[in-house]
Amino acid sequence: MQRKYFGTDGVRGRVGDYPITPDFVMKLGMAAGKVLAKGQGSRVIIGKDTRLSGYMFEAALESGFSAAGVSTVLLGPMPTPAISYLTKAFRADLGVVISASHNPFFDNGIKFFSKEGTKLPDEIELEIEKALDSELKITDPQGLGRAYRQDDAPGRYVEFCKSSFDAKLSLEGLTIVLDCANGATYHVAPLVFKELGAKVITIGTEPNGVNINDGVGSTHPEALIAKVLSSHADLGIAFDGDGDRVMMVDNKGQLLDGDAVLYIIACDRQRRGKLGGGVVGTLMSNLGLELALKEKNIDFVRSKVGDRYVMETLLEKGWRLGGENSGHVICLDYVSTGDGIVSALQVLKAALHQQKSLAQLVSDLKMLPQELINLRLRQGFDALSDDVVKQEVKAVEDILGAHGRVLLRKSGTEPVVRVMVEGEVRSEVHDLAVRLADTIRRQAEEG
């Protein structure tokens, strides 16, 4: 069944454009309260990133849940993985995050966590959508939900993150640059790494409501690279706006994406006998990661794109490690969703265990050239079903042969189509990606 409001990571869009409006979000809270929290006596925790519109949507959700008889605990700016953890820690019936993750400030969204701290399955989202399209009645006045502020949430999450790092290890002697994207990690990530002993240099820690992800963070790693090089730091770590993604930079300015992070953690855990199965990637994971893991005799499977699908595959397999090249990495022995801070700490654990630099840890990982082009197309044009586009995809695949891939997919978080081409020769990969993107643009305009 086609979802009407939910994408791959909650409900998301431009603020003021339906459905990212206060009236819809209030009704969304009411519907979720009826479906998930089961009404009176239930409790929901709500966190948000640093977008200016978060205040508005926090109030709207509080109203909607109260109308459903559900009490809310307001945590203020907190990373998405913190809400996953705290939903379990507070024994809440539901966790809610107001965030559009890596998107610009003028976007926002709502995503939910179950009482187990996991993303909601498709069938539950469909049930909420069904409730949204039906008549929702306000509960009796004596049964309305209350609202509370929880001021110690940041400290609880800082201690949780530190608990994922071996007590016998220390970051003392390391200079680390942290880029918090002017987002939700701005007040917690520096504390985690300082309290573990590192000298911390920060960028992207001065949110003003509109500068989230603006030239900083995991989607703009050039700022981190420049700071690492200029400050002669040992490494750099960049999070996205809501803290569930991470990118890292070594002391020479080499960028390590989610695939590299996943590789480092997997190899270290295998070496120590703690891998617990294989590794889950996605359709976007670089073929080089798959080949490198195969060389290490580590099983690798691909899920659909989206950390929720990585999670589903991990649970099906009974494995504990998976992620996306965008920087979502799930370490199921610690967290039940992507957590940028925890993932970075696992990489640093690997470096300390082996007494190696980041560059040395990925020396055996040979990434294939990959070109990704995001296309914003007119409403109504379906690139994936267009016959001319299909023919062009087949032609590009024939040129690449067995040592390359083509992937077209609609984004679940933005109104774009992603064109990915992967192969052995960088110039050829670039030219073929541009060729395919041009064909899609032309068909969209002519159609």
Can you count the helices (H) and strands (E) in the chain? 14, 18
pLDDT of residue 120: 86
- Measured CA to CA, the distance from residue 336 to residue 119 in angstroms comes to 9
pLDDT of residue 237: 98
Please tell me the total number of residues recorded for the chain in this structure: 447
At the second CATH level, the architecture of 257-367 is 3-Layer(aba) Sandwich (3.40)
Q: Which residues are catalytic?
A: 101
pLDDT of residue 332: 95
Radius of gyration of the chain from Cα atoms? 22
pLDDT of residue 419: 95
Asked if domains 11-151 and 257-367 share a fold, the reply is yes
**Angle at which helices 80-89 and 340-354 cross, to 10°:** 100
pLDDT per position as a tens digit, 123-144: 889 999 999 999 999 999 999 9
At the second CATH level, the architecture of 370-446 is 2-Layer Sandwich (3.30)
pLDDT of residue 308: 86
Kindly give the parts of the chain with pLDDT less than 50.
none
For the chain, which residues make up each domain, given as ranges? 11-151, 171-256, 257-367, 370-446
pLDDT per position as a tens digit, 243-295: 999 999 999 999 999 999 999 999 999 999 999 999 999 999 999 999 999 99
Assigned token pair, 433: 């990606």
Q: What is the CATH number of domain 171-256?
A: 3.40.120.10
Strands annotated E in 378-439: 405-410, 417-422
pLDDT of residue 102: 93
Specify the CATH superfamily of domain 11-151.
Answer: Alpha-D-Glucose-1,6-Bisphosphate, subunit A, domain 3 (3.40.120.10)
How many alpha carbons lie under 13 Å from residue 166 in its C-beta half-sphere?
Answer: 11
Average pLDDT, the chain: 94
pLDDT of residue 39: 53
Assigned token pair, 325: 């090249």
Distance of CA 283 to the CA centre of its chain: 16
Assigned token pair, 403: 């040592």
pLDDT of residue 411: 78
- Measured CA to CA, the distance from residue 358 to residue 23 in angstroms comes to 48
- Measured CA to CA, the distance from residue 118 to residue 303 in angstroms comes to 17
Helices (H), 41-113: 54-67, 80-89
Closest CA to 103 of 411, 371, 440, 372: 411
